[in-house]
């Protein structure tokens, strides 16, 4: 899961990594109390699970009650790249001397963690040329390695000691919380010489959630996404009007690409998975029926172990129960697809032999 | 490097046939494990033993002996291949049992294995000079000979094209198209949809590239990570000359969202489809716009 800044900072604090004083809130009443407690001036930072919030105006200075009353609601109601504000963080202004970069990152192709550090921070690391990179196996960073990294980015004396300590704490956090990424950017050297984490980004491994009950409070899922997870399929919600359903992540992604290529706007990425049953597909249709913006459903199935008749049966039940009344465009291939087509021939589902034709149909329908 | 062909099919006998290698199924009595054991048997895979702790001494379908541990199963059968169906949280234990008992090819089916557990299993596999495929893989198939996986049988036919794929259903779909177009498969390997894979694209490529029967390769990638880019660079570096065609799923996927597979996520430019497609172009690998186009592009390459 992708932790928000304030959540990442809670973990930083838990592991002894210094951050500027800050308080998070989800409504203005609590925000007013926080403002009083923190005292002006401070920064208001929108908490949103996408990058680029600074450029989008999601970080604002705040010097007075009047400014607070104006800016807090603006930030609370903003959305960036389709994502809405999840919370607001008020944070004391830091007196910054210099900004650095530090992260522990799971390098998938090398199949090990890497330390990435730089004397240039506060910008996206991809655009930083001057990087120090160290491979550290399963994520454990010994003092010697940490010292070498500190030397390479030019730190000395107390700052070097603080950096070494911070990197080792970040390593402990990464291992214990099973993070794929734990990033401090910028890592600020303050005017008084202290090192603090000014911003943080943590991604944890969802597959390890079962051994991290303590992280469940940070889970940010829409109601629909949560229901989908319970039913054993994966769902990503988007702003379009075509519900894209299929089996297997790759096949659904591929369908999604073709819909978008042809001018359609997907409302869902819905993978019913390898173990789809009539019940789970019915459940998927129930979820979609609750999404009022959906104007058409596109089904792309490659029946392998899952029989396409299993899926056809779910559609028949959905029609019988008046669950769906929007047009369905389907392409069924593989196991028992002839039988499935026969089952659906007198329903409102339009069957196509190729996915390209099905997509043409659903795009015309939804762009009307 | 351990030779995957040697493990899966051995050398041809005097009649020109490959060997029927022995396979162990870990988690043979579970719902998923038992279903797929039957389907693999139907395909002709020589399953010689099952492993389910607590059920040692029983038999699967009155035939296949079940053991408490892989060690016992290996001692009794000499098998070098094991396919694992246990729930994700028990995967690491099952993998250790297999790798420490001399298994040389471990096919890891479970989805949702924590990355840390996968990384530990990979370390052990390296130490034991064994191959692990997966986790979250449909498995591996040498059509007509041996199926160690959960893929349906119908899309595949014996031939000379290798298919490497992160996705299961796209592997079936594209293999089916290849079969219809007359391109049978020499081997197909499911890399898996997880961020960290026991057998990476580049490993799979190295395992199969020198097979004299291989005529062409299809690489089915998707967004997330950089294994496609690294493979493309490796193809350039090794000067591999046989035709290769690619497909990349997720061109239109939103950034920073996991698209079904744990590994299918774009962070910044890391893992983006554009990055993969442009590296494929550098390696002279045409990339199909849709799955149906793969066989068409391959036919073009084969005839040029």
Q: Say what the pLDDT of residue A276 is.
A: 77
Name the pTM for this structure.
0.93
- Among B166, B202, B257, select the one facing A236 at the smallest CB separation: B257
Q: Say yes or no for a CB contact (<8 Å) between B256 and A257.
A: no
Q: Say yes or no for a CB contact (<8 Å) between A334 and B172.
A: yes
Question: Which residues of chain A have a CB within 8 Å of the CB of B264?
Answer: 249, 253
Name the CATH topology of B4-133: Rossmann fold (3.40.50)
Q: Is A301 helix (H, G, I), strand (E, B) or coil?
A: strand
Q: Active site residue: A72, A101, A218, A319, which one? A: A101
Question: Which residues of chain B have a CB within 8 Å of the CB of A363?
Answer: none
Q: Which residues pair with B75 in a beta bridge?
A: none
- pLDDT tens string B204-237: 999 999 999 999 999 999 999 999 999 999 999 9
Q: Does B203 touch chain A (CB under 8 A)?
A: no
| Cβ(B289)–Cβ(A294) below 8 Å | no
Q: Say yes or no for a CB contact (<8 Å) between A256 and B252.
A: yes
Closest residue in chain B to residue A139, using alpha carbons only: B116
Backbone phi, psi, residue B115, to 5° = -55, -40
Q: Say yes or no for a CB contact (<8 Å) between B169 and A248.
A: yes
Instruction: Give the residue ranges of chain A where pLDDT is below 70.
Output: none
- Interface probe for B, chosen from A254, A262, A338, A355 (most Cβ of B below 10 Å), is A254
Instruction: Name the E strands within chain B.
Output: 22-26, 46-51, 59-60, 64-67, 81-84, 105-108, 131-133, 139-142, 146-149, 158-165, 185-190, 216-222, 244-249, 287-288
Question: Which residues of chain B have a CB within 8 Å of the CB of A356?
Answer: 290, 292
- CB neighbour list of residue A305: distance below 8 Å, 6 or more residues apart: A274, A335, B35, B36, B39, B150, B152
Question: Which residues of chain B have a CB within 8 Å of the CB of A249?
Answer: 167, 193, 222, 259-261, 264
CATH number at residue A166: 3.30.470.20
Q: Average pLDDT over chain B, rounded to whole? A: 96
Domain that holds residue A129: 96-215
How many interchain CB pairs under 8 A, A with B?
174
Look at residues A92, A114, A131 and tell me which one is the last residue of a structural domain.
A92
What's the total number of domains in chain A? Answer: 3
Q: Does A305 touch chain B (CB under 8 A)?
A: yes
Look at residues A54, A70, A92 and tell me which one is the last residue of a structural domain.
A92
For chain B positions 48-77, those within 8 Å of chain A (CB to CB) are none
Minimal C-alpha gap between B157 and chain A (Å)? 15
Q: Say what the pLDDT of residue A234 is.
A: 86
Please indicate, yes or no, whether residues A336 and A242 belong to a single structural domain of this protein: yes
Backbone phi, psi, residue A247, to 5° = -120, 125
Alpha-carbon separation of residue B180 from A255, A339, B293 (angstroms): 21, 21, 13
Spatial distance between the Cα atoms of A299 and A311, rounded to a whole number of angstroms? 10
Q: Does A126 touch chain B (CB under 8 A)?
A: yes
Degrees to nearest 5, angle at CA A132 with A126 and A136: 105
Question: Which residues of chain A have a CB within 8 Å of the CB of B258?
Answer: 206, 234, 236
User: What length does chain B have?
Assistant: 304
| Cβ(A355)–Cβ(A255) below 8 Å | yes
Q: Say yes or no for a CB contact (<8 Å) between A249 and B230.
A: no
What is the Cα B125 distance to its own chain's centre? 16
Please indicate, yes or no, whether residues A249 and A203 belong to a single structural domain of this protein: no
Please indicate, yes or no, whether residues A139 and A205 belong to a single structural domain of this protein: yes
Q: Say what the pLDDT of residue B1 is.
A: 67
Instruction: Tell me which CATH code domain B154-303 carries.
Output: 3.40.50.261
- Interface probe for A, chosen from B260, B271, B277, B289 (most Cβ of A below 10 Å), is B260
Q: Is B47 helix (H, G, I), strand (E, B) or coil?
A: strand
Q: Does A43 touch chain B (CB under 8 A)?
A: no
- pLDDT tens string A43-66: 999 999 888 898 899 999 999 999
A243-282 in b/e form (b: 16+ CB < 10 A) is bbbbbbbbbbbbbbbbbbeeebbbbbbbbbbbebbbebbb
Domain locations in chain B as residue ranges: 4-133, 154-303
Is there a domain that residue A9 lies in?
no
| Cβ(A251)–Cβ(B167) below 8 Å | yes
**Taking each helix axis from N to C terminus, what angle separates A337-344 and A308-320, rounded to the nearest 10 degrees?**
10
- pLDDT tens string A286-301: 999 999 999 999 999 8
Question: Among candidates A29, A94, A13, A91, which has minimal Cα distance to A58?
Answer: A91
For chain A positions 168-227, those within 8 Å of chain B (CB to CB) are 178, 180-181, 205-208, 210-211
For residues A104, A110, A112, A116, the Cα torsion angle rounded to the nearest 10 degrees is -20
CATH number at residue A270: 3.40.50.261
Instruction: Say if residue B283's pLDDT is above 90.
Output: yes
Please indicate, yes or no, whether residues A133 and A184 belong to a single structural domain of this protein: yes
Please indicate, yes or no, whether residues A232 and A330 belong to a single structural domain of this protein: yes
Q: Say yes or no for a CB contact (<8 Å) between A49 and B256.
A: yes
Please indicate, yes or no, whether residues A238 and A351 belong to a single structural domain of this protein: yes
Question: Which residues of chain A have a CB within 8 Å of the CB of B135?
Answer: none
Please indicate, yes or no, whether residues A104 and A60 belong to a single structural domain of this protein: no
Question: Which residues of chain A have a CB within 8 Å of the CB of B122?
Answer: 111
Q: Say yes or no for a CB contact (<8 Å) between B154 and A334.
A: yes
Is there a domain that residue A318 lies in?
yes
Active-site amino acid positions of B: 261
Q: Say what the pLDDT of residue A231 is.
A: 82
- pLDDT tens string A309-337: 888 999 999 999 999 989 999 998 877 88
Is there a domain that residue A130 lies in?
yes
Instruction: Say if residue B174's pLDDT is above 90.
Output: yes
Please indicate, yes or no, whether residues A131 and A197 belong to a single structural domain of this protein: yes
Minimal C-alpha gap between A251 and chain B (Å)? 5
- pLDDT tens string B144-172: 999 999 999 999 999 999 999 999 999 99
Please indicate, yes or no, whether residues A189 and A286 belong to a single structural domain of this protein: no
Q: Say yes or no for a CB contact (<8 Å) between B268 and A124.
A: yes
Is there a domain that residue A13 lies in?
no
Closest residue in chain A to residue B202, using alpha carbons only: A109
Please indicate, yes or no, whether residues A26 and A101 belong to a single structural domain of this protein: no
Q: Say yes or no for a CB contact (<8 Å) between B170 and A257.
A: no
| Cβ(A172)–Cβ(A142) below 8 Å | no
Please indicate, yes or no, whether residues A262 and A174 belong to a single structural domain of this protein: no
- Interface probe for A, chosen from B169, B193, B263 (most Cβ of A below 10 Å), is B169
Q: Say yes or no for a CB contact (<8 Å) between B115 and A253.
A: no
- Among B115, B169, B200, select the one facing A180 at the smallest CB separation: B115
Q: Say what the pLDDT of residue B274 is.
A: 97
Look at residues A92, A116, A133 and tell me which one is the last residue of a structural domain.
A92
Minimal C-alpha gap between B253 and chain A (Å)? 7
DSSP string, B136-173: S--EEEETTTEEEES--STT--EEEEEEEES-HHHHHH
A279 or B296, higher pLDDT: B296
Closest residue in chain B to residue A272, using alpha carbons only: B260
């Amino acid at each position: 899961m992708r932790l928000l800044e304030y959540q990442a900072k809670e973990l930083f604090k838990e592991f002894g990594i210094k951050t500027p004083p800050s308080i998070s809130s989800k409504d203005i009443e609590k925000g007013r109390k926080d403002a009083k407690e923190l005292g002006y001036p401070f920064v208001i930072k929108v908490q949103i699970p996408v990058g680029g919030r600074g450029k989008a105006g999601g970080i604002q200075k705040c010097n007075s009650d009047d400014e607070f009353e104006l800016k807090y609601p603006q930030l609370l109601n903003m959305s960036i790249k389709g994502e809405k504000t999840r919370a607001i963080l008020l944070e004391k202004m830091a007196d910054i001397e210099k900004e650095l970069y530090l992260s522990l990152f799971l390098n998938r192709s090398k199949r090990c963690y890497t330390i990435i550090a730089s004397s240039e921070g506060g910008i996206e690391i991809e655009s930083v040329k001057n990087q120090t990179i160290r491979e550290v196996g399963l994520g454990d960073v010994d003092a010697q390695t940490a010292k070498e990294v500190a030397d390479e980015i030019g730190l000395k004396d107390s700052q070097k000691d603080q950096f070494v300590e911070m990197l080792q704490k970040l390593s402990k956090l990464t291992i214990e919380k099973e993070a794929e990424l734990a990033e401090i950017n910028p890592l600020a050297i303050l005017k008084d010489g202290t090192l603090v984490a000014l911003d943080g980004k943590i991604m944890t491994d969802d597959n390890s959630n079962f051994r991290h009950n303590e992280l469940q409070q940070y889970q940010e899922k829409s109601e629909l996404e949560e229901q989908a997870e319970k039913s054993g399929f994966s769902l990503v919600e988007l702003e379009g009007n075509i519900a894209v359903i299929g089996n297997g992540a790759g096949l659904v992604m591929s369908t999604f690409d073709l819909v978008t290529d042809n001018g359609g706007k997907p409302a869902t990425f819905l993978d019913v998975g390898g173990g789809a049953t009539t019940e789970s597909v019915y459940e998927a249709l129930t979820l979609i029926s609750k999404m009022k913006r959906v104007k058409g459903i596109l089904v792309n199935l490659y029946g392998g172990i899952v029989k396409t008749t299993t899926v056809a049966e779910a559609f028949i039940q959905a029609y019988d129960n008046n669950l769906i009344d929007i047009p369905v465009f389907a392409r069924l291939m593989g196991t028992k697809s002839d039988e499935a087509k026969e089952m659906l021939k007198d329903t409102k589902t339009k069957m196509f032999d190729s996915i390209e034709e099905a997509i043409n149909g659903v795009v015309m329908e939804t762009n009307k | 490097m351990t030779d995957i062909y040697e493990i899966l099919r051995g050398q041809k006998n005097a009649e020109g046939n490959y060997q029927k290698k022995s396979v162990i199924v870990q988690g043979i009595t579970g719902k998923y494990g038992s279903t797929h054991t039957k389907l693999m048997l139907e395909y002709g895979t020589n399953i010689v033993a099952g492993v389910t702790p607590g059920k040692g001494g029983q038999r699967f379908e009155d035939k296949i002996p079940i053991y408490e541990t892989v060690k016992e199963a290996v001692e009794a059968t000499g098998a070098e291949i094991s396919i694992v169906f246990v729930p994700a949280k028990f995967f690491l234990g099952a993998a250790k049992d297999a790798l420490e008992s001399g298994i040389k090819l471990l096919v890891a089916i479970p989805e949702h294995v924590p990355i840390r557990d996968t990384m530990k299993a990979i370390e052990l596999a390296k130490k034991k000079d064994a191959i692990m495929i997966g986790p979250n893989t449909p498995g591996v198939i040498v059509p007509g000979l041996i199926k160690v996986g959960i893929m349906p049988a119908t899309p595949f036919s014996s031939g000379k094209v290798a298919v490497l794929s992160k996705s299961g259903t796209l592997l079936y779909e594209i293999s089916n198209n290849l079969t219809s177009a007359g391109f049978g498969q020499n081997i197909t390997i499911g890399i898996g949809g997880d961020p960290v894979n026991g057998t990476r694209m580049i490993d799979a490529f190295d395992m199969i590239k020198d097979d004299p029967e291989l005529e062409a390769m299809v690489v089915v990638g998707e967004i997330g990570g950089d294994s496609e880019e690294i493979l493309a660079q490796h193809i350039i570096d090794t000067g591999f000359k046989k035709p290769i065609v690619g497909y990349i799923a997720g061109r239109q996927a939103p950034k920073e969202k996991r698209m079904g597979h744990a590994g299918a996520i774009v962070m910044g430019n890391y893992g983006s489809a554009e990055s993969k497609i442009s590296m494929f172009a550098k390696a002279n690998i045409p990339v199909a716009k849709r799955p149906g186009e793969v066989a068409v592009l391959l036919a073009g390459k084969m005839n040029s």
